[in-house]
Structure 1
Amino acid sequence: MVSTLAHAKPAQIAIVIDDIGYRTTDRQVLTIPGNITYAVLPQTPYGKRIAEEANRRNQDVILHIPMESTQGKKLGPGALTANMSEAAIAASLDESLQEVPFAIGINNHMGSHLTTLAKPMLWTMKFLKKRELLFLDSVTSPKSLGRTIADRMGVPAMSRHVFLDNQLSHQYIAGQFQQLINKAKRQQTAIAIAHPHPETVAALTKLIPQLKQHGIELVPLSALYRKTSYGGSLTASAE
């Protein structure tokens, strides 16, 4: 009798690099090994060029859409706010998508306020549904309605499990990376978000090759959306 373990598929993780577009050093993210997913801020000095290079390499690109924060932080171009109408939200998302037309979906940049509001989230998901785009909830608020409303609307949606680099020491990033590995082993899939800091690029360059010894596969974000959706407890993080 052949053991079922012989046919067991490896656990899979996706690593999304957020906040790409404002710094010349952001291009360093393209040196991180493996199937990294790139989340590009709209209408930024370097975002489009980095997105195009990632797309040429057949790597996943999503739009990192600024959304209103509870802390009133400056949002930048392409932002969605609570006082916008459905038409204004759709027009803003459309403009962002025109810049990076090959983007496969969006995730939220900040958004601890907007993601808790039903109407703006509903209007956002209606746009994504129409364009056949996916949604990744960055979970900057434990009260986020993004995933719930996306599921209700039939928009492919998942949620972030681990932030890798809230602190920029290698020790901290390595610890978070181990959390990601542990979640993937328990759940078979897990999603991490990191940022284009030089410290993060250096740490991930060393850490990602270690996944093989854990039997974990680094995959594009879109690969996880082709799997059965899953749960998992999440905690919000500072924006």
Structure 2
Amino acid sequence: MRPPAPQKPQTRGRLRVFFFCLLAFVAGFGAGAGWLSARAARPAPPVPPVSVSATGTPSGAREEASSVSATPSPQREEAADSEQEASAPTAPAPSPLFLPTPVPSGVGRVALVVDDMGYDLAVARRLVGLGLPLTWAILPDAPHAAATAKIARDAGIPYLVHLPMQAQGDGDDGPYAVASGWSAEVIRERSLRAFEALPGAFGVNNHRGSRATADRVAMERFLSVLQEARPGWIFLDSRTNGASCGFSVAQEKGIRTSRNDRFLDHRDEDEAIRAAFEAGASLARRKGQAILIGHPRPRTVHFLERLSRGDAIPPGVELETLPDLMGLVSEEAGGGRP
């Protein structure tokens, strides 16, 4: 029997390389498994606690809100024959996280109210000739109040009783129907007399009155008379004082009410009147409607003449009477409306 042939040196070298690689692989695998096991056993880093406010907002996300004063604007003195410009109510600053949805711009409805009517019949006839949808506010104790009301009725112009009220700096006695500190009986007697002087009216707005309209007791007494004696009439708060409570008291009593957004001629200058109207028109386009109050002064009448020609009305603005703006039916609008 032939003995086995001796292995060649090349075969023995391959075997040694194979066993060396096998040992290296086993050793590497064991080391890797040990590293993974140690990493899995390592404790996770602690997570800092998150404090939550009462509203559920994380404290780290809360913004410092800007402070808004709840104090009403300072009461301003009024001239005896003029009304102060209505100050816009202060609005709270929007939240940085919840911004208000913008109101799409569109057609703005504007009602123009002409105060202090009843002194000049020529001006009344001139305003009728303009053909604008105006609303008049007639002073019940003006020398031509009744004649002015007849002109309005004949022309189909709605009108308000422009009721005198106590202003800052006025005394306790004066030619007004509502004053701070007056009894309910006195306010009732004087208000009814004013209502009866202009029977075709559809509502009331205040003449001056920066003191009376800021007196809640006085306004509650007056508006109770209005509600009882003239149900269906409206109250327009002229807002001769930013602290007026007339609008809010009327709302509480269920009286149909609105308020002046801007005085057209607070500054009796041509450019100021134009700018005031454009600001009111811009406001109307943003919120849908606006009420502007002017007076039968030469510059104001001249501006109204420009409006009647159509060359001063911005695009997207429509002029309406106050009853139309407030959605009053013709029987309630008064003023000779059909």
Q: What TM-score do you get using the length of structure 1 for normalisation?
A: 0.84
Choose the corresponding residue for 2:166, options 68, 74, 79: 68
1:89-138 deviation per Cα after TM superposition (whole angstroms, max 9, x unaligned):
12211111111111111111111100011111011111222212101111
Aligned length: 220
- For 1:11, the equivalent position in structure 2 comes to 108
Separation of aligned partners in 2, 1:137 and 1:75: 22
Residue in 1 that maps onto 2:220: 122
Structure 1 unaligned segments of length 5 or more: list them: 1-7, 228-239
Partner of 1:226: 327
| Residues 161, 204 of structure 2: 8 Å contact kept | yes
Aligned with residue 132 of structure 2, among 34, 46, 51: 34
1:76–1:205 distance in 2 versus 1, CA, 3 Å: farther
CA contact 1:22–1:47 (8 Å) conserved in 2:
yes
Judged with a 3 Å threshold, the aligned counterparts in structure 2 of structure 1 residues 63 and 74 are, in CA distance, closer, same or farther, namely farther
Higher-Rg structure is 2
Specify the SS of the correspondent of 2:204: strand
Contact 1:110–1:140 under 8 Å retained in 2 = yes
Q: What value does the CA root-mean-square deviation take over the aligned residues? A: 2.3
User: Which one is further off, 106-115 or 72-81?
Assistant: 72-81
Specify which of 93, 113, 126 is matched with residue 191 of structure 2: 93
Q: Note closer, same or farther for the CA distance 1:14–1:116 as it changes in structure 2 (3 Å cut).
A: same
Q: 1:79: Cα distance to partner?
A: 3.0
Which structure has more RCO (C-alpha within 8 Å, separation ≥ 6)? 1
* Superposed counterparts of 1:117-196, under 5 Å: 117-130=215-228, 131-132=230-231, 133-196=233-296
Residues 210/145 of structure 1: CA separation in 2 closer, same or farther (3 Å cut): same
Q: Report the identity percentage.
A: 29
The Cα offsets for residues 3-57 of structure 1, whole Å up to 9 and x where unpaired, read as xxxxx98421100000112345542333343110000011211122112211222
**Counterparts of 2:218 and 2:269, CA distance in 1:** 36
Decide whether aligned partners of structure 1 residues 220 and 139 sit closer, same or farther in structure 2, where only a CA change above 3 A counts. same
C-alpha deviations, 1:145-180, integer Å up to 9, x for none? 100100000011111011111222221111111011
Distance 1:210 1:123, change over 3 A: farther
Distance 1:150 1:88, change over 3 A: same
Would the aligned equivalents of 1:16 and 1:192 in 2 still touch at CA under 8 Å? yes
CA distance in 1, matches of 2:323, 2:173: 26
Q: Secondary structure at the match of 2:200?
A: coil
Q: In terms of mean alpha carbon deviation, does 175-184 or 47-56 score higher?
A: 47-56
TM-score by structure 2 length?
Answer: 0.61
Contact 1:18 1:194 in 2 (8 A): yes
Secondary structure at the counterpart of residue 214 of structure 1: coil
Q: Is the 8 A contact 2:281 2:314 kept in 1?
A: no
- In the alignment, structure 1 residue 215 sits paired with structure 2 residue 312: no
- Note closer, same or farther for the CA distance 1:83–1:31 as it changes in structure 2 (3 Å cut): farther
Q: Specify which structure has the higher proportion of strand.
A: 1
Residue matched to 2:21: none
Moved more, 67-76 or 199-208: 67-76
2:204 paired with 1:204: no
